[in-house]
Structure formats: structure tokens, C-alpha cells
Structure 1
């Protein structure tokens, strides 16, 4: 499997959107509000890739996974970590996280940060196994209840 940077030479944003939607599909009907992935378009992904640092994993010519990274004060934010359903459970998410750790270290950022929906306990457990700790609870606008949690991982 090869990992590439999603940059100005990347032209597979239709396929990238399909990957993200397929990997987030299990959330439909489970999380409220619905995933922001439904608001993405190939054009908005292209803009997101210009504003952030993004990587795609490719296997046998097809996109197998991706991650978007955004520097914040004291953190590297991990967003849209997606692994194609037929590649899940094979360590690809962890490989993409390792890339995020490397980027954070290169930029002198001491920690990673991500947000996960409150309903997705399996994701919380996976991120905890990968060294993340729950640090905050948040609510989307218009919701009185907690809708997501923040998790952070300090880098050595």
C-alpha cells in the first residue's frame, strides 16, 4: 500500500468523496446531527486539501483511506480519517494516524486532537487503544445534549 500527499496534482476528488461517504455510511441513522461528510463535494474537498495537509492511501490503484490534518495552537487536528469498508480492521487507520504523528512532530506540535460523535463508542475505544484520552464533551449548535467528545493524544 502506498500513501500519497493530496496536493495540487491530486485529481481524484470524486473518488475521495465516495471513499469518505462509504466509510462514514455506518453512522447514518446513528448519529444526530448527521455527519458533516454529507455536506462535502469534490470541489469542497479540493479546497479543504489546499487549506489543510491531507494524505490518501492507495492499494491496487484504488483509494483505501485518507486523513486531513489542520494545525491549531498546541495541536494537530485530525479530521475526516476515513478507511474504505473493505480495508477496515487491517491497520490502515493506525498507519494514517502514524503519518499524523509525524506531521505534528515536524511542525513542533506536542499533541493530536480529534472529535468523535458521542454515539460512536466503538470509535472512542479504538482511539483510546491508539493512545487518545477523552478531554472534553461538546454540543453542536442547537443541541442541549452532548453530541461529540474531544480526544487528545500527547506525543512523546
Structure 2
């Protein structure tokens, strides 16, 4: 009984797991490899090279170069900053709305509207200190029209 009480006290005194901070993770260079599945189409391999720079106000500017099979590379930019204890807000050049980023424990949820009534919902889950799993669902008028599964690795 004493051991159980001692273990319970140690667990209660242990620090909670730190929340995943997307600004810290994406600062520097990262590389992602994933598969995109669009409804009625074959899967497509996509790789993403990113470079994030922290700005003086604490926000992050993230340049992404997207490589998709049989298409020329394209570049897009994210800019986001922390607006609350577990919240970030920002912009994305591909988005038709502001980007909302919510942190809950070790997961990050990213939501925004794209062009053509597409709604993007991403969930980033750390696999370890240098890898993150990205699972994205794209909906149009409430119907899932695409899914993207990716592993993102820190390079520096």
C-alpha cells in the first residue's frame, strides 16, 4: 500500500508532457514524404521541403516547396504566430481564409478554407523529437474528397 501511495505521489509531482510547439518544430529545415489520395484518382507521392525562419515578433515564416509527381515544383508560404496559450493564427498563400492552429497536448490541429469550397483539417502528431506525422482530410460540402498522410522530419 505504501508503494502505491509513493508511486501515485511521484506521478502527481511529475511535470506534464510539454505541448507540441509548431513554431519550434518548423524553425529551420524539414522534409516531408507523403501520399495524397484524391477521390476517383490514383494515389500520388508528394514531398515537401520547408525552411522556417522565426521573426522578431515570435511568428514563423515557413517557405514550402512542394514536389508532386509529373508536376513542376510549386512554392507556398505560411506565416503564423502564437495568439494564446494553446493557439496560433496565421495565413497561407493557398488558403482563402485565415489559418487556425490549436494545440492540445502533443497534437496540433490546423484548419483553414481553401479555394473552391475546400475545407482543410490537419492533425500533426509527434512520433519523436525529430519526426511528426501529418494526417490531413480535405472536404467539400461536407464530403471527404482527399486525404494526405505524411511523415515530416527535422533536418537540422
TM-score range, shorter chain: under 0.3
Choose between structure 1 and 2: higher helix proportion. 1
Choose between structure 1 and 2: higher strand proportion. 2
Q: Which has the larger radius of gyration?
A: 2
TM-score, normalization by structure 2? 0.28
